[in-house]
Copies of this chain bind each other. A is one copy, B any other.
Amino acid sequence: MNPSEWFTEQVPGAESAFSLKIKKKLHEEQSPFQFLEIYETETFGNLMVIDGCTMVSTRDNFFYHEMMSHPALFSHPDPKRVWIIGGGDCGTLKEVLKHATVEQAVQIDIDERVTRLAEIYFPELCESNNDPRAELKFIDGIKWVKDAAPNSVDIIIVDSTDPVGPAEGLFGEAFYRDCFNCLSENGILVQQSESALFHLKLIGDMRAAMGNSGLSHLQTLFFPQCLYPSGWWSATLAAKNPLPAFREQDCLDKPFDTVYYNADIHKAAMAQPEFFKKAFSL
C-alpha cells in the first residue's frame, strides 16, 4: 500500500484507521477555520476531508444525510422552521427541503469555504441551495442559537464535525440550553452523536449535558456510515416534551426518493443495542 496513493484517517483512541484509494487530490486550502482537502477517490467518488477527518463522500453520504433529517422531520407533527447548525456541504439541507411542510430552512455554518467547495465538488448535494425556502448563513451557530427568540424554530439539526475545534461548543450544556429556549413546544433537536462502539463516554457526557439543559426526552438512533470511525454512526434526538409519534403513514406516502431511509428503517434505527441500554439505564 503506497501511502501516496491513499487517503488515511487515523482514529485517535480507537487506534484504528480507514483508508480510501485516491486518483488525485483535487484541492486543498486553509480556511479561516479549518484545513480543507478534496480528493477524487477510486470508488467513493469525491471525498471532502476537514482537519484530517473524512467528512463526506459522493458514494456513501446518503446514510448520514437521510438519517440526520427524515426521522426528526417525520416525527414532528408539522415541521415548518428548520435550522441546520454546521452542515456546510448542504446535503442535510437538501434532504430537509424534500419535506413540503418546511417553510424555512436555515443553514448556519461558520465556514463559508466548505459550502463553496461543496458547490464545486458535490454539486448534487447543493442542488436545492436556490430553493426560495433555503437561507445560507456563514456565521457562528452557537451565537445564532444564543441570540434567537423563544419558540422560533421547530427542528434544530446539529450537523457538526467531531467535538474538537470549532464544533466543541456544540456538544455542551450552554448550547443545549439555548436550543431548549428557542425550540417550539413540539421542537426536536437532532445531534450527530458519533460511534457507540468508539465514543460511548462522549455520548454519555452529551446525554448528561442535554438532560441538564432541560432536553430530557432523548432517543439515539443508529445507522451504518462506512466513512466514519467504526463504520457505525448515531444521531440523538432530544426534546423538551415526549418525542412526537412517528408519522408513519406520511412516511409511507412520501413523494420523494431516498436511498437508505424508509418507514421500516425509521423504526429499526430506534432499537437500542443491549450494551447501550445498560450503559445508560434505558
Binding site for B on A (CB under 8 A): 1, 3, 6, 8, 10, 13-21, 41-44, 60, 197, 222, 224-226, 230-232, 257-262, 264-265, 267-275, 277
Q: Which residues of B contact A197 (CB under 8 A)?
A: 60, 224, 226
A258 touches B274 (CB 8 A): yes
Q: In the complex, A42 Cα to B259 Cα: how many Å? A: 36
Chain B residue at minimal CB-CB distance from A16 = B20
Q: Which residues of B contact A18 (CB under 8 A)?
A: 16-19
A136 to chain B, nearest CB (A): 28
11 A-B contact pairs sorted by A residue (CB < 8 Å): A1-B17, A15-B21, A15-B41, A226-B230, A226-B232, A230-B231, A262-B271, A262-B273, A262-B277, A264-B272, A267-B271
B15 touches A8 (CB 8 A): no
Partner of A43, one of B15, B41, B259: B15
Partner of A16, one of B43, B259, B262: B43
Q: Which residues of B contact A275 (CB under 8 A)?
A: 259-260
Q: A224-B231, A275-B260 are in contact. Are A16 and B16 (CB under 8 A)?
A: no
Partner of A265, one of B260, B265, B274: B274
